[in-house]
Amino acid sequence: MTVTDNELDAHGQQFREDGFTVVRGLFGYGEVDRLCAEFAALHAAGPVPGHFEPSASADPLRRYPRVMQPHEINGLALRVLLDARLRNILETLLGEEVLAAQSMFYFKPPGARGQALHQDNFYLRVEPGTCVAAWVACDVIDRDNGGLEVVPGTHRMDLFCPEEADAGLSFAREYVPPPVGLEVVPVDMAPGDVLFFNGSLVHGSQPNGTADRFRRSFIGHYVGRSTERIGHYYRTLSMSGEQVPLAESEGAGPCGTEFARHGPH
């Protein structure tokens, strides 16, 4: 799908006002089907140490763990991360050239826990500025199967020091309660829709409460070319695929200490 200049302006305005915007149908159903088939084959082939290590377990998230940095081991994942359609929108939202910092693929099978409300830049630690996520829906995604929830307005706020999450509902330890006066808003999506959101936006997801529906998604995180420092885990690329090393963020994190490193959502 091609996004017109008027549509880009509208998405940019919503992103500035609310901290997020959804571009409907940016990827076609055929593209999403190929992406899902690629990750189904990856899962069937077994573990790739450092990226993806499924195991026999009663925990659905151990049987179907997220794939970390799949663009480093899979050509299709790399092409999606660097897709020109994403680049066009991201440059509008950030107002400058963008760099890709991370990719992930989530299976989120039936019964899987969600991730408590959090902020991505707590993990990426982009300085100066923040990151932006491009969250590609690969299934029909709604409240039943653990779709994303966002707290509009929090993108204008600093990073919050998180509380500890309920381990029965969230696979990650960090939890940021919604600030007083702001509401959690669910974001329902169709395959091929892309949710773009600011790294300071508080967001998360509930468990997948369905018996037979996955909630698959491909996520890229991006930063502006003016970024000087980023967390130690992230290896930035230009949108043409060349490595662009950045200095590592210093210190113990925005709250003086960090919980165990899980990575955003």
pLDDT at 263: 47
**Is the residue at 259 inside a domain?**
no
**Is the residue at 123 inside a domain?**
yes
d(CA 263, CA 248): 16
**Is the residue at 260 inside a domain?**
no
Strand pairing report for 185-186 and 148-151: antiparallel
**Is the residue at 23 inside a domain?**
yes
Query: In this predicted structure, which of 39-43, 129-133, 231-235 has the lowest mean pLDDT?
Result: 231-235
pLDDT at 1: 83
Please say if the pLDDT value at position 139 is more than 70: yes
Per-residue pLDDT reduced to its tens digit, 147-199: 999 999 999 999 999 999 999 999 999 999 999 999 999 999 999 999 999 99
d(CA 259, CA 238): 30
CATH of the domain at 36: 2.60.120.620
Amino acid at 62: R
Please say if the pLDDT value at position 4 is more than 70: yes
**Is the residue at 253 inside a domain?**
no
Per-residue pLDDT reduced to its tens digit, 52-70: 999 999 999 999 999 999 9
**Is the residue at 263 inside a domain?**
no
d(CA 28, CA 30): 5
pLDDT at 69: 97
* Average pLDDT value for residue range 40-44: 96
Using the CB atoms, write b or e for 169-188: b if 16+ within 10 Å.
Answer: ebbbbbbbeeeeeeeeeebe
pLDDT at 256: 65
Question: Taking a C-beta distance cutoff of 8 angstroms, is the pair 153, 214 a contact?
Answer: no
Contacts of 215 (CB under 8 A, 6+ apart): 106, 108, 112, 139, 141, 145, 146, 147, 208
d(CA 80, CA 76): 6
Residue ranges making up the domain that contains 224: 5-248
Please say if the pLDDT value at position 49 is more than 90: yes
pLDDT at 265: 47
**Is the residue at 209 inside a domain?**
yes
Please say if the pLDDT value at position 220 is more than 80: yes
The token pair at 226 is 């003016």
Place of tokens 């082939």: 45
**Is the residue at 255 inside a domain?**
no
Number of domains in the chain: 1
Place of tokens 């508080």: 202
Q: pTM to 2 decimals?
A: 0.95
